[in-house]
Homo-oligomer: A and B are copies of this chain.
Amino acid sequence: MAGTDSTQGALTGGPAIILVRPQLGENIGMAARAMLNCGLTELRLVAPRDGWPNEKALSAASGADAVVENARLYDTTAAAIADLAHVYATTARPRGMYKPVFSPREAVAAMVPGIAGGEATGVLFGAERSGLDNADVTLAQAIIEVPLNPAYRSLNLSQAVLLLGYEWFQARPDLAAPAGPLEAEPPAPQADLQGLYAHLEEELDRAGFFHPPEKRPGMVRNLRNMFARAGLTAQEVRTLRGVVVALTRGRRGAGGRGGED
Contacts and interface: CB of A to CB of B under 8 A. Distances in A.
Contacts of A166: 146, 148, 163, 166
Contact of A156 (B1, B130, B208): B1
A76 to B, nearest CB: 21
A178 B103 contact: yes
B129 A34 contact: no
B6 A93 contact: no
A162 B9 CA distance: 26
23 contacts: A1-B155, A3-B91, A3-B131, A11-B149, A36-B152, A37-B159, A39-B148, A64-B152, A98-B231, A98-B236, A101-B182, A101-B183, A147-B169, A158-B159, A204-B246, A207-B247, A208-B246, A209-B242, A209-B246, A226-B239, A249-B261, A250-B251, A251-B253
Contacts of A243: 200, 204, 209, 223
A151 B233 contact: no
A243 B223 CA distance: 9
A135 to B, nearest CB: 17
Contacts of A248: 247-248, 250-251
Nearest to A64: B152
B229 A230 contact: yes
A173 to B, nearest CB: 9
Interface of A: 1-6, 8-11, 33-34, 36-39, 63-64, 90-103, 105-106, 125-126, 128-131, 146-160, 162-163, 166, 169-170, 175, 178-179, 181-183, 185, 200, 203-204, 206-209, 219, 222-223, 226-227, 229-233, 236, 239-240, 242-244, 246-255, 257, 260-261
Given A152-B10, A152-B37, A163-B162, A223 B246 contact: no
A149 B37 contact: yes
Nearest to A39: B149
A45 to B, nearest CB: 17
A198 to B, nearest CB: 15
Given A181-B101, A233-B98, A250-B251, A154 B207 contact: no
Given A249-B261, A253-B260, A154 B223 contact: no
